[in-house]
Structure 1
Amino acid sequence: MKLLIKAGADVNGKGSAMSPLVFATGQGGYTNFIRLLLKAGADPNIPDDLGQLPIKLAAARDCREEVEMLFPLTSPIPNVKNWSIDGIISHAKQENAKPMKEEHIKVRKATIRSQADKAFRQKEYDTASKFYTVLIDVGPDATLYSNRSLCKLNLGDGEGALSDAYQCRMLRPDWAKAFYRQATAHMLLKEYKQARDALLDVQKLDPGNDEIERELSTAMELMKNSPDEDEQ
């Protein structure tokens, strides 16, 4: 990120549905990243899709350090009567305790999904994976696990990709793509027999697919040439 900022990257994420500060303060674990963004001139007065400012998101997580960084740069929020560090934290906690409205949940999920898909298209697989994780935590879905599996595959995380592929299969046991995700993860892990078996399952669900035929041939050829594969 330091290199991107030095290269002139927009620290406010202009044109995106969610600014970097909104994402970082909403998820937690990005305190140093927030400090870097603020130092680079990121605007803490850009709200999220529901009108919440980064300082309120950080306060809702009770992250005092982040609130202290954001407070001098944030314009007072009209409905926060006690505009102080303690006041904003107390207010945010009270607001956070209230259940989120259904329409707000839908808006939030759509926004995060849009950001995840955009990050994936831009080959920012780690960022996309984090967004998909947020969505999975809200409500597990086979497509989300499939997408995160592909992100992890592109990041070289074979075990993570395989774990998500298994979750995908459990949720949609008749979906060819779920088995394909499993196969590609096994291929990355050089587990060619398991990859072959998963591709055979794909064939049953999607017969006549030329790409699967080629992948299957590759897996079987690698099985023959791999001394570690024990055909049973």
Structure 2
Amino acid sequence: MRIVMADDSTLLREGLERLLVEAGHQVVAAVDDGPSFVTAVLQHRPDVALVDVRMPPSHSDEGMRAAVQVRESWPAAPILVLSQYVELSYADELLATGNGGIGYLLKDRVSDIDEFLDAVQRIAAGGTVLDPQVVAQVMTVGRRNDPVQALTPREREVLTLMAEGRSNAAIAAAMVVTEGAVAKHIQRIFGKLGLEQDDSDNRRVLAVLAYLRG
């Protein structure tokens, strides 16, 4: 795959680049700030774009804002956000700018090479991958008037696993049920969240977005 990456840490940037190249991918651009990331992604249109949350010039949420800017110009841009800590600012806005092909992982996950490379592959294929710690923090937010509260505990478990980017088969394995049972749970989730069938929308992504906004 062709990959663009952005991180202001030279050590981490070069380490990730070497890891990706050894896995058979091509890093077409490696930059160290938000504006350069936006330019590189829109120029190269890579299979996946990796971006750190905190980068110059603001050293706050520059990377997240750059990712949102990319998706304003290229809604289908496949982006994996990496962060040292959970930063939820702009997260729901980023998820809302396209259908799938988005991920948010803590940098600790990179140490599990197989898990990291699998996440990159899933995002390139249009999937959504969220770090379990990101999901856990979102769950601590108050859910007043939240349609997710209408879900049964089993349905919430399915939605949590969906938010982590797991396929129906992976959810079935984790819950020790059949894929058919998972599919039925997901259909009920869509119904309770008011997500009617619409070929122009990715209901799976919209369900995860409802979960994050709750």
Asked if TM exceeds 0.5, the reply is no
Greater RCO, CA 8 A, separation 6+: 2
Structure (1 or 2) with the greater helix fraction: 1
The TM-score with structure 1 as length reference comes to: 0.33
